[in-house]
Amino acid sequence: MTSGRRAFVALLLVLVFAPARGRATDSGEAEVRKSVAAFLDALNNLRWDEFRVCFADDATLFNPEIPEAASLGRIDGRDAVEKSFQRVFDEARKRASGPPYMHIVPQNLHVQLIDRAGAVATFEFDRDDGTTGRRTFVYRKTGDGWRIAHIHASNTTKRE
């Protein structure tokens, strides 16, 4: 094959596969956004069974400094993460009479695909006490969809 023909074939392959790669990225980002929305909907409405399936089995968590936090150290494993969130669910039920119990509405949601099976989602939200919550979710794609592998949560008094 001549060098001109090799260059033509290479260019043709790039043109054929570039749009597919773009669609996969768009689709992956949309799937992660949908996973974030499902997680927050289950959390805001305290639907435990829908909430708990959002996590990978080896999930980890850094809680924000809040009274309901079981620990400010890293929490390892799905069971421990669920136990930590169960305290949040219990306290939220005490403070509100019905759904939604919480009002986490993400602002500035940004999704970064790492590869076909990994993504980072970050957002901020206005907390009921006037402070700002900041969240980072690390997602892993499994056979069952995108699952949260890690949450890093913090709160701040003002947004900059």
pLDDT tens across the length of the chain (160 residues): 565 555 444 433 333 334 434 444 678 999 999 999 999 999 999 999 999 999 999 999 988 776 576 666 789 999 999 999 998 899 899 988 889 999 999 999 999 999 999 999 999 999 888 889 999 999 999 999 999 999 999 988 866 6
Give me the number of domains the chain comprises. 1
SS (H, E, C) the chain: CCHHHHHHHHHHHHHHHHHHHHHHHHHHHHHHHHHHHHHHHHHHCCCHHHHHCCEEEEEEEECCCCCCCCCCCCEECHHHHHHHHHHHHHHHHHHCCCCCCCCCCCEEEEEEEEECCEEEEEEEEECCCCCEEEEEEEEEEECCEEEEEEEEEEEECCCC
Q: State residue 104's pLDDT score.
A: 93
**Domain around 82:** 3-156
Q: What CATH number corresponds to the domain at position 148?
A: 3.10.450.50
Per-residue pLDDT at 96: 85
